[in-house]
Amino acid sequence: MIVNDAIGHHRNFHAANSKPSTQRGYNYFYTTFSREFGDRELSDVPPDEILSYLTTLTANCSRETKRLRYVQTKAFFNFCINCLEVGIPNPCANNLLSKSFRHPKRTKRTVVGKEAVDEVIFRCENERDRIMLELMARSGLRIGEVLKMRPCDVEGRKITLEAPKSGKDIEYAYMTESTADRLDKYVKEKGFAPEARIFNLSYSGARFVVKKAGDRADVNIKPHDFRRHAATYASRMGLPLEVVSKVLLRHANLSTTQIYLGTISEADALHYMDTLHGK
């Protein structure tokens, strides 16, 4: 089978079975792989040429991107072998390729503690900015989700999130009573139309808000640190991991949630043992 024909089948498969973000992720693969091998037979694409192609393609990319391009190429050949029944070995199942594009080592994520997060929030003098920080730190919202919020999305303490990152049509997030009251008062004072954005900022503007708030409290913090804090704090307060995952972070898999959770120090471990079983 010709590579371009196989790409057409692969594209149709994902159009019918995958969410839009997955389809978009493969578009770059289709373009570059077709340009390099499009008129060739699948059986005529050897591992050494794939290695050369991927090495050139990802020369200036991060380890994560290098790995992604390799995984996409390997998945494409697996599709051809398993779904199109092309009788060839997967050329990406090669030790040199696998080692060259192995998983990057995960850097240890530092979770900002509750005291520091509270200090950042409490020192925030601008009401709009404080509500944004609370939505990230208390409700686990992503910065993009905060920026999309409109009055019509809010009902009491429930927030409707349309077209969320998961690919679902709708998800729901929830607020503490104090955050909901603060948000309701702010919306009424400003007189926002139902469809108007409550936080009319760009991503860079929102990141600057977070940085400025952190600087005021002498805390180095980024927008996603609030979401990571929300997950870790909820978990350590005894909220079941399933609830942290499905309600607070709205992850499809528990394994994704576990990446967010901070490491536990020896002092913390001893404290939890004392809490569970007494001294």
pLDDT tens digits for range 157-185: 999 998 777 777 889 999 999 999 999 99
- Statement: residue 111 has pLDDT above 70: yes
CA gap 205, 182 in Å, rounded: 21
Integer Cα distance of 118 and 229 in angstroms: 11
- State which of 68, 100, 132 marks the end of a domain: 100
pLDDT at 264: 53
Domain match, 158 and 180 both: yes
Picking from 36, 66, 100, the residue at the C-terminal end of a domain is 100
pLDDT (0 to 100) of residue 112: 85
Whether 194 has a pLDDT exceeding 60, the answer reads yes
Look at the block and give the residue holding tokens 């979401």: 227
Whether residues 258 and 135 share a domain: the answer is: yes
pTM of the model as a whole: 0.60
Does residue 96 sit in the same domain as residue 206?
no
Query: CA 72 to CA 18: how far, in whole Å?
Result: 14
Indicate whether 56 and 124 sit together in one domain.
Answer: no
Q: Are residues 196 and 89 in the same domain?
A: no
